[in-house]
Structure 1
Amino acid sequence: MSETAALNGADFRSEWEGRVAFITGAATGIGLGTAQAFADAGMKLALSYRNEDDRAATEQWFASHGHAKPLFIKLDVTDREGFVAAADEVEKTFGEVHVLVNNAGVSVFGPTDEASYDDFDWIMNVNFGGNVNGIVSFLPKIKAASGRRHVVNVASMAAFLPGPQAGIYTASKFAVRGLTESLRYNLAPHGIGCSLCCPALTRTNAWKSAQKRPDDFAESGFAPAKEGELEQFGTAFELGMDPYEVGAKILRGMTLQDGLILTHPEHGVDFAEEYMKQVKALPIEACPPGRARIEQLRRDAMRAADEGLVIAMDDLT
């Protein structure tokens, strides 16, 4: 096992003990693994969930490991009023709120050219809209808090690598990537860290998302899965990384103030291919001095923002 893989939440206890974190989709999968790593680091937790059985199992894990019972909040991340109420409840219970992890999402696959409005609306509302709702609801409280603070948006390796059966899912994760990488610059002047986490194959039940489709978005353009097809797809997830390891790497990335947290080492070849594809697509020609100056101003502004300076529109021209 690598040194990074061997890390656990307790390794970062001195950095995060007593900090208050809200994690969405925290009763299963990566959300639960993150909650477990955070608990081992001594953090106080508020966890959103949808399923009562999952909540009960999560509560049992905390009790059996000697951790304080988290504040459980039943929440549909597309519910903006519910998100505002959740933020108020966390603040009322714990006082300051220091960490937000937007993790909840759905994994639904099918040919994009056959997708319906309901397919687009459901997946984008959860995977991108859930992040938006978390940010708008919780950031005022995090800004008002003191000490170490952080926002983590959990996307996916699909934020970099598209696939033929994952067009809407990929679009939602690309959107989360763009949002997070820009938000990092805005939060730096407030002393708040911001990370994009892009896990790959993880041992979760994410493949069951298609079976939990809300009635409000029932009109799918995708053909129903063939008998046993989803279950066969789910066997791939059994080979995935342990969710706790993903959570420990998120905690490590937060501690190091990493803007990008990549948890799986196996995608180097994919990044190299994507990089070369982009470089090859660049035209080989001279750039006019005026355009070159504007782009250099943009680069300078990004570096300055990363150092914590507030960037105004005038700084870009």
Structure 2
Amino acid sequence: MSEQPGGWATEWKGRVAFVTGAVTGIGLGVAQAFADAGMKLALSYRNEDDKAATEAWFDSKGYDQPLYCKLDVTDRARFAEVADDVVDRYGEVHVLVNNAGVSVFGPTDEATYDDFDWIMGVNFGGVVNGLVSFLPKIKAAHGRRHVTNIASMAAFLPGPQAGIYTASKFAVRGLTESLRYNLAPQGIGCSLCCPALTRTNAWTSALKRPDSFKDTGFAEAREGELRQFGTAFEEGMDPYVVGSKILTGMTNMDGLILTHPEHGPDFEELHEKLMAALPVEDAPEGRLRIEELRREAMRQAEAGIRMKMDDLT
């Protein structure tokens, strides 16, 4: 594991954080980085063996055990109960990290309603449920507060076998980038994190599909093929390093946290395509004025000034 950057303790020690999908993969890396920064934790989980392994890690470090909350992030009633449980345990909650998700691939043109409902329900709906359940608690808390939604590099870079997954991550990106302007005037930080290849077991998602969403247009998930696909993840970044970069980004109040440096060529190509697609013509003064008002409203919101609809016209 990487050494933690300086300054964490002064920024985050004693802050209470709730992290979804937090006993494996990136969620666990976030939880470990947060624990090293002295934060108090509540972690959601689904699998008892993964929870036991996480408990063993906390014991090995001599840290207090987090509050473990068994949670399906699509269960709104349970999410609301968990938010109450966290406040009952710690008195306040200051940080929310929406991390839980499923990574499932297949040709989008063959997808069924169940394919869309399952993947979007977890990857986007789970974020929505976290926000609706926890934002009132975070707003009622005091001091340094932050919301981080973990999407994926797929929020910028689509792929032919990942249409629904990509749609869910684009949705998280749009929601988070808009939410930041709402939370800044309330003194609450908001970050979108888009990690790329990370050493996780995300490839096993297709083997955990709920029976309630069994009607799929994708080919049957074959464990051998998935395990071969999973070998790519062995080349990925250590989840703790991702968690450390997330904490550094939160400390810096970064709206966008990009953890992997290898995607520079992708962003350069994307920028070139966007600029090339713009019509080469003059825009009327009225439209130019409205767009400048929008830009100014965004700048003001980031600076902590609450903006109204009237400010856009």
TM-score category of the 2 structures, normalised to the smaller one = over 0.9
2:29 match? 33
Match 2:67 to one of 71, 82, 85: 71
Is the contact made by 1:118 and 1:217 (CA closer than 8 Å) also made in structure 2? yes
Residue 234 of structure 1: which of 230, 235, 239 is its match? Answer: 230
Are 1:98 and 2:82 counterparts?
no
1:255 correspondence with 2:251: yes
Distance 1:244 1:165 in 2: 28
Aligned equivalents of 2:3, 2:312: Cα separation in 1 = 41
Match of 1:87 in 2: 83
Corresponding position of 1:292:
288
Give the Cα–Cα distance (whole angstroms) in 2 for the partners of residues 52 and 10 of structure 1. 34
More deviation, 30-39/7-16? 7-16
- Residue aligning to 1:166: 162
Deviations 1:84-117 (A, max 9, x none): 0000000000001000000000000000000000
Greater mean deviation of Cα atoms: 56-65 or 222-231: 222-231
Runs of 4+ more than 6 Å apart: none
Equivalence map 1:296-311=2 (5 Å): 296-311=292-307
1:218 is aligned with what amino acid? K
Q: Which residue of 1 aligns with 2:269?
A: 273
2:179 equivalent among 183, 186, 192? 183
CA distance in 2, matches of 1:34, 1:6: 13
Distance 1:227 1:18, change over 3 A: closer
Residue by residue, what CA displacement relative to the aligned partner does 1:231-271 show, whole Å, maximum 9, x if unpaired? 11100000000000000000000000000000000000000
For 1:206 and 1:8, the matched residues in 2 are separated by 25
Deviation at 1:119, TM superposition (A): 0.3
Answer whether contact 2:153 2:196 (CA < 8 A) is retained.
Answer: yes
Task: After TM superposition, give the deviation of residue 13 of structure 1 in Å.
Answer: 1.2
Alpha-carbon separation, structure 1, partners of 2:261 and 2:133: 34
Residue 116 in structure 1 maps to residue 112 in structure 2: yes
* Residue segments in structure 1 that go unaligned for 5+ positions in a row: none
RMSD between superposed Cα atoms in Å: 1.1
Report how far residue 10 of structure 1 moved: 6.6
Match of 1:246 in 2: 242
CA drift at 1:214? 0.4
Amino acid in the other structure paired with 1:112: T
Paired with 2:114 and 2:132, the residues of 1 have a C-alpha distance of: 24
Closer, same or farther: CA 9–48 of 1 in aligned 2, 3 Å: farther
Indicate if the aligned counterparts of 1:9 and 1:39 stay in contact, CA closer than 8 A. no
Distance 1:150-1:227 versus aligned 2 partners, 3 A rule: closer
**Percent identity among equivalent residues?**
75
Once residues 189 and 71 of structure 2 are traced to their aligned partners in structure 1, the CA distance between those partners, rounded to angstroms, is 25
Matched residue SS, 2:235: coil
Structure 2, unmatched stretches of 5+, are none
What's 1:21 paired with?
17
Residue 119 of structure 1 contacts residue 221 of structure 1 at CA under 8 Å; is this kept in 2?
yes
8 Å contact kept, 2:206–2:221: no
Please report the TM-score for the alignment, with normalisation by the length of structure 2.
0.98
State the match for 1:138 in structure 2: 134
* Length, aligned pairs only: 313
2:284 aligned partner, one-letter code: P
Cα shift at 1:226: 4.6
In 2: Cα distance, 1:173 partner to 1:227 partner: 25
CA separation of 1:81 and 1:9: change in aligned 2, threshold 3 A: farther
Distance 2:222 2:52 in 1: 32
Q: Show the counterpart of 2:153.
A: 157
| 1:140-198 superposed Cα distances (whole Å, 9 cap, x missing partner) | 01000000000000000000000000000000000000000000000001100000000
Report the equivalent of 1:55. Answer: 51
Structure 2 counterpart of 1:91, one-letter code:
V
TM-score with structure 1 setting the length = 0.97
Q: Mean Cα displacement is larger for which, 182-191 or 8-17?
A: 8-17
Task: Judge conservation of contact 2:180–2:189 (CA < 8 Å) in 1.
Answer: yes
Name the aligned partner's letter for residue 256 of structure 2: L
